[in-house]
Amino acid sequence: MKTREEALSYGLSFPDTYQEAPFNDRNWQLIRVKKSRKAFLWTYEKDGFINLNLKVDPQWRDLWRKTYTAVLPAYHQNKEHWNTVVLDGSIPDDVIKRMIAESYDLVTDSPTKRIYEAVKKIPKGKVATYADVAELAGDRKMARAVGNALHKNPDPSTIPCHRVVNSKGELAGEYAFGGAWKQGQILQSEGVEIVENRVNLEKYRFRKNT
C-alpha cells in the first residue's frame, strides 16, 4: 500500500464511515465514524510520501515503532495514543490494514471485545465460521473484523480462536499461535475430525440456539 487512494478506500470499507477534508486543505483527508464523528484514519502527504495517522493501543504502540522504521510517533497528534505510518513500501499491506482496523476498533464501540466474548461461547468439540462469530457479536457484516481481532488475540487460553474456521470449514493457512499445523492439532485434541485441512461444518458447526 503506497497511495492515499488505497488507504482511504480501505478505511471506507468499514461499517458506517465517511470521508472528510476538514481543514480547507485537500492535503488532509480523514475517514470518520458516522455516529460519533471520530476520525480513525488521517491521510496527508509529507516529505514526498503519503502518511497515515492511526490510533493505537499503548501496549502495541512501541512494538510497531520498533518493528518498522516507517512507524513513528504521531505527527501533530497525541504521541501516546497515535502513530504515524509512512507509506514508503517497507510495511506489508496486511500489517497496514491491521493497524487501520485496530484504529477503527479503538474509536468505535469496541467490536473486538464483543468478538472475543462471542468466541468464548464456542464449546469444545465445535467450530464456528467468521460470519457466525460476527453474528454472535451482534453484526454479521463484520466477519472481516473477526479475523483482525483473532489475529491479535491477547489470551488464546481463554479466547479459543482455534475453533474459528472459514465459510468452507477450512483451517487457517497460517494459524497465528503456533504455525499452520497447530490449529488442526488443537481441534483434534478436542474431538473434532480434520479431513484434508477441513472440518465438516454440518457435523461440528456451533449454532447460536444449540
Quote the Cα angle for 23-28-34, to 5°: 80
d(CA 34, CA 41): 13
Contact 139, 15 (CB under 8 A): yes
Nearest to 7 by CA among 89, 100, 106: 100
User: Is 113 noted as a catalytic residue in this protein?
Assistant: no
Selected catalytic residue, list 101, 161, 164, 199: 161
Residues that are catalytic: 161
